[in-house]
Amino acid sequence: MADYKFGVNEPPHKRWPVAWYNPMVLARSALEVLSTDHFIRNFDRRELFSGDFAVIDQSLNSRGGDYWWDFLSDTGDGGNASYTVARAILSPSLTAGAAAGVNPDTAGGFPAGQMLVLGGDLAYPGAGTEEYQYRFIEMWEAAKPTEQKPEITVASIPQNHDWFDNISSFSRHFVGNYDNHFLRASTPQNRSYFAARLPHGWWILGLDFALVGDIDREQYETFLRLIAHPAGNHPVRIQPGDNVILLYPEPYWTRPLGDSADAGYPKRYQRLEAALVAADVKIRIRLAGDLHHYVREQAGSGAELDYEDALITCGSGGAFLHPTHARRVVATKVLDRIHDSGAMTPDLEKRVRVGIGAAEELRANQRKYTQKACYPGRRISRGLCKWNLTALFKPASLSGIFADVVEGNLWQRTLRRLAELLSAFRKGNAMFPILLGALYLVAACCNSVVLSKAADLGGFEAAGQFAQTTFPSFLLLWVKALFFSPLALGAHTMLLGVYFLVAREDGPAASVCGVAFGLLHIVAAAALFWKVNQFGLAPLSMGLLIFASGAVVGGLLFGVYFAVLSRLGWLANNAFSPLAHEGYKGFLRFRIDAQGALHGFMIGTDTVPKRWIPNPNGKRPLWVEKPGQKPPKWKMRDSFTLQR
């Protein structure tokens, strides 16, 4: 991006969150998804990795009997949140009290992790070199203490946004262990996926779905070789009885059970899970980011498995917040193991499925997951929905506009502030209502020509005669005119298309609601034109008033739509992205104790600082909170233990 500013003089509050409904961001994201999807279909970069697969062996690296490691995902958005989380993770020690409802015995000091596992979506909105540098790399470099802690090992998988440049930037920072990688840490993985061996028989398998919702054939066979008998080319392999954490780029369990896999052809990751279970390997945690909140669901025995396991979503690393009360988040998840006797070959007969199911009809080979914790809580999540009413009118950010001292006289300072404010609106969601106002104006201009000719009038000049018509009668004329005005019809069709695309993530019911709200825009455009005609304005003034009114009314309609549907639990992704909420951020810190038990701690803060100044002692972390700013209050929001 040409207007990105890099380096030590660009503090976190100047690095504004992504405005996801800015038309330029929407257009760019759509183009990158389409182009990358087309490229992967013909040239899957995952198939180009060569050489022996490198297992990251951390099994002998425990300190004093304990091994600590961190998980973080979905960072690289707004600077305030991304820098706050990075500073906490890289701190040599972190003190966190226990939040309400969490066992206080597990709170206290948390030593720094020896390994950092990243779950993807490391830079938004795309994954170009500028975004990685501006939103991710520089935030972590600035947060790194001058007093360097012992070298950490970093392992990572890409999510969809990392794939927008065909994982070129991701590979440059994480694939291959050489100088000037991320934090100049040890990055031993040689694929976009990895396997890490931890102490006491714990493993992490990091999977890469690219943009196709599944692992590729080579990745599948690589992981199968880790459990093969004999071990083949790998000096270490996963043993029967070992515990595995499967790191996914997305929480597939928030989709219907089966994840749309066809009968007779299960997805490869479902076959991999079945192969692990068949080899007497215990899948203890399915872990993912992608949804920007924290949710832990846990199950006991069932489906012929006699151990506890958990589904954990933790995408709280710095990106905008997602709701925890959404329907697909709170829906009951089940696991089953099915044998498909209709499969063509034996390798396709078994699959493990986890997803949304009918828990009240659990079969003998199924097990039910119960939600144990979420952050933020559902009540808070529901309460945030109302802010959608005004979210589309917000500038990109106000944090950095009035934070710094500006030199010059009053006139110069005023012009500088005004220029920054205009830039904030230009880069924010406020451009979306402006686009809506333009669409309203196009519809009004085009339909006025049709209506005027039909009435043998002269355009806007004589259109005031329509004010004599009742609105229901005028609305009927307006709808009829749409079919004689391709541009006006196209403007309304575009609005219907936007609503449909926003709602389709939640299926037919939400899509119908979306189309219904889209139809309201037709009524609103007609009402504005009909009402403005009563004022007897000049054509230019009439057009400007329709444009301005269309921006306000159109933005409010979208705001009401997002607020209502998100409150009902729909639009888990699209309705919260306009909020760009910087709070409720955190990460997972894990400990494997001397007995081999895994302890998990979700450490989060409700708020993050909004103003930063250079560190007065001249050391790093590079920035500290500006006086008067409250520091983040790190608390343990959840804790759990899985015995070996």
Cis amide linkage into residue 376, ω under 30° from 0 = yes
| Nearest-10 Cα torsion for 206, 209, 213, 215 | -80
DSSP 91-144: SSEEEEEEPTTS-GGG-EEEEPPSEEEE-S--SSS---HHHIIIIIIHHHHHHS
Q: Which of 162, 182, 70 is nearest to 120 (CA)?
A: 162
Prediction pTM value: 0.92
Q: Which of 332, 255, 257 is nearest to 291 (CA)?
A: 255
- What one-letter code names the amino acid at 532? V
CA atoms of 479 and 477, how far apart (whole Å): 6
CATH of domain 12-329+371-382+588-642: 3.60.21.10
Burial of 607 (0-12, 13-18, 19+ CB in 10 A): middle
**What is residue 230's predicted lDDT score, i.e. its pLDDT?**
59
3-state secondary structure 161-195: HHHHHCCHHHHHHHCCCCCCCHHHCECCCCCCCEE
Domain segments of the chain: what residues? Answer: 12-329+371-382+588-642, 430-577
CA atoms of 188 and 185, how far apart (whole Å): 9
**What is residue 462's predicted lDDT score, i.e. its pLDDT?**
45
Q: What are phi and psi of 417, to 5 degrees?
A: -65, -40
Q: Give yes or no for a contact between 543 and 445, defined as CB atoms under 8 angstroms apart.
A: yes
Q: Give yes or no for a contact between 591 and 68, defined as CB atoms under 8 angstroms apart.
A: yes
The per-residue pLDDT for range 463-489, each reduced to its tens digit, is 455 666 788 888 888 888 888 888 888
The per-residue pLDDT for range 80-92, each reduced to its tens digit, is 999 999 999 999 8
Strands 366-375, 585-592: pairing is: unpaired
**What is residue 215's predicted lDDT score, i.e. its pLDDT?**
96
Strands 153-156, 115-118: pairing is: parallel
Mean pLDDT (10-residue bins), the chain, 644 residues: 80 91 84 74 77 90 88 95 96 84 71 94 89 95 83 93 88 81 88 96 97 93 86 73 97 94 94 95 97 95 84 96 95 91 91 83 78 96 94 76 62 73 80 91 85 57 60 86 83 79 76 83 89 84 93 93 91 88 96 95 96 92 93 94 92
Strands 585-592, 598-605: pairing is: antiparallel
**What is residue 589's predicted lDDT score, i.e. its pLDDT?**
96
Q: Give yes or no for a contact between 123 and 4, defined as CB atoms under 8 angstroms apart.
A: no
Strands 635-642, 93-98: pairing is: parallel
3-state class (DSSP) for residue 586: strand
